[in-house]
Amino acid sequence: MRRLFLQFAAASVLTAASIVTAFAHASLETGETAAGSYKAVLKIPHGCDGKATNLVRVEIPEGYIGVKPMPKAGWTLETKKGDYAKKYDLHGEEVASGVTLVTWSGGSLPDEFYDEFALSGTLAGVEAGQTLFFKTLQQCDGAEVAWTEEPAEGQNPHSLEHPAPSLTILAAESGGHEGHGAAPQAVTAGDLAITSGWARAMLPGQPTGGGYLTVTNNGQTADKLVSAASANAGKVEVHTMEVVNDVMVMRPVEGGLDIPAGATVELKPGGLHLMFMAVKEPFKEGGSVPVTLEFEKAGKVDVMLPVQAKPGGEDHSQH
């Protein structure tokens, strides 16, 4: 018994050490996804030798195209454009160049805090199993850290002192943001790309169900999801979840769901989601749910949500 306890304790220490090491590195919030629209969220966990970070520069890897960085209050945002190694198809348009370097500067991120720096773009011409490296330079007053090291074949990236933030490409049928099973290809409507769609399997007799997807606005003008409908439900609404007086409350989003220019909006368990009411027949795993989304500017678009059994998230059975 004592031996088992010691083995468990040793494993716990190693696990904790791994977590601390991983958190100490600059990294991407989502480290694996399928080809298509992708929001790269770069996490900067600390300063340089205790000094505050005042510049973050990211090299855009080949295969991540149409990149648009998100501005940050108090920081100056600059981009550098260049030619891609080859031509790509971006929403039906052939592109051969785009943003290759993004720099946020002039801000102040104290060593005791962490922050996130976001990019929106499309993964194109990439293959399952491929790894893209987002080489990052972090500068402080008189000091800097270059997160640029790539592991050799077979080498554990955690053994590197300054590993470059990396993204592993998944097969389309198993990919998706946060592992929610993205559709093989993005469904587009104007400047909008809809990915990662799925609906939760329902219990027999359950009157309501949940659906999830990601909308990326690759345009320069904001849009709005004004309505949704499905032949499998009497009514579909966009709902949000929030804690009110220590109680989780779900309510409809009034006036439509804003999709800001250059931004990605995720409908996911525990947050914004599609609410299917008066469901005609409970969603069964392996099936699919047709949904028509109507946007203020992009118009109507049809998407198909594969039904999957996923643990956690909101429970719609009590609506």
Give the CATH number, domain containing residue 118. 2.60.40.2230
Q: What is the pLDDT of residue 246?
A: 64
Q: Does 7 reside within a domain?
A: no
Q: What is the pLDDT of residue 5?
A: 38
Q: What is the pLDDT of residue 245?
A: 67
- The answer to whether residues 307 and 205 belong to one domain is yes
Q: What is the pLDDT of residue 280?
A: 87
pTM metric for this prediction:
0.52
Question: How far apart (Å, rounded) are the C-alpha atoms in residues 298 and 271?
Answer: 24
- The answer to whether residues 73 and 153 belong to one domain is yes
What are the tens digits of pLDDT across the range 259-308? 999 999 999 888 899 999 999 899 998 889 999 999 999 999 999 999 98
Q: Please identify, among 174, 207, 229, the residue that sits at the C-terminal boundary of a domain.
A: 174
Q: What is the pLDDT of residue 213?
A: 95
Question: How far apart (Å, rounded) are the C-alpha atoms in residues 100 and 13?
Answer: 40
- The answer to whether residues 209 and 148 belong to one domain is no
- 185: which strand partners? none
Q: By the 8 A CB rule, do 168 and 186 touch? A: no
Q: What is the average pLDDT value for the chain, to the nearest integer?
A: 83
Q: What is the pLDDT of residue 243?
A: 61
pLDDT at 319 over 50: no
Higher pLDDT pick, 151 / 176? 151
280-285 CB contacts, 8 Å cutoff, 24+ apart:
280/232, 280/233, 280/234, 281/232, 282/201, 282/202, 282/203, 282/204, 282/205, 282/206, 282/209, 283/199, 283/200, 283/201, 283/202, 283/209, 283/232, 283/307, 284/201, 284/202, 285/201, 285/309
3-state secondary structure of 173: helix
Q: What is the pLDDT of residue 162?
A: 92
- The answer to whether residues 133 and 69 belong to one domain is yes
Q: Does 10 reside within a domain?
A: no
- The answer to whether residues 144 and 35 belong to one domain is yes
- The answer to whether residues 220 and 314 belong to one domain is yes
Range in 4-18, 106-120, 285-299 with the lowest mean pLDDT? 4-18
- The answer to whether residues 33 and 126 belong to one domain is yes
Q: Does 22 reside within a domain?
A: no
Q: What is the pLDDT of residue 172?
A: 64
Query: Where residue 170 falls among pLDDT bands split at 50, 70, 90?
Result: confident
- The answer to whether residues 137 and 268 belong to one domain is no
Q: Does 3 reside within a domain?
A: no
Determine the straight-line distance between the first and last CA of the chain, rounded to whole angstroms.
Answer: 48
Higher pLDDT pick, 222 / 3? 222
Q: What is the pLDDT of residue 204?
A: 86
- The answer to whether residues 74 and 154 belong to one domain is yes
Average pLDDT rounded to a whole number, residues 185-199: 87
Residues, the chain? 319
Q: Does 287 reside within a domain?
A: yes
What are the tens digits of pLDDT across the range 43-92? 998 888 889 999 999 999 999 999 999 999 999 999 999 999 999 988 77
Q: Does 4 reside within a domain?
A: no
Q: Please identify, among 148, 174, 200, the residue that sits at the C-terminal boundary of a domain.
A: 174
Domain carrying residue 70:
29-174
Q: What is the pLDDT of residue 10?
A: 39
What are the tens digits of pLDDT across the range 18-55? 333 334 688 898 888 888 888 999 999 888 888 999 99
Q: What percent of the chain has pLDDT above 70?
A: 82
- The answer to whether residues 192 and 287 belong to one domain is yes
Q: How many domains does the chain have?
A: 2
- The answer to whether residues 253 and 152 belong to one domain is no
Q: What is the pLDDT of residue 16?
A: 36
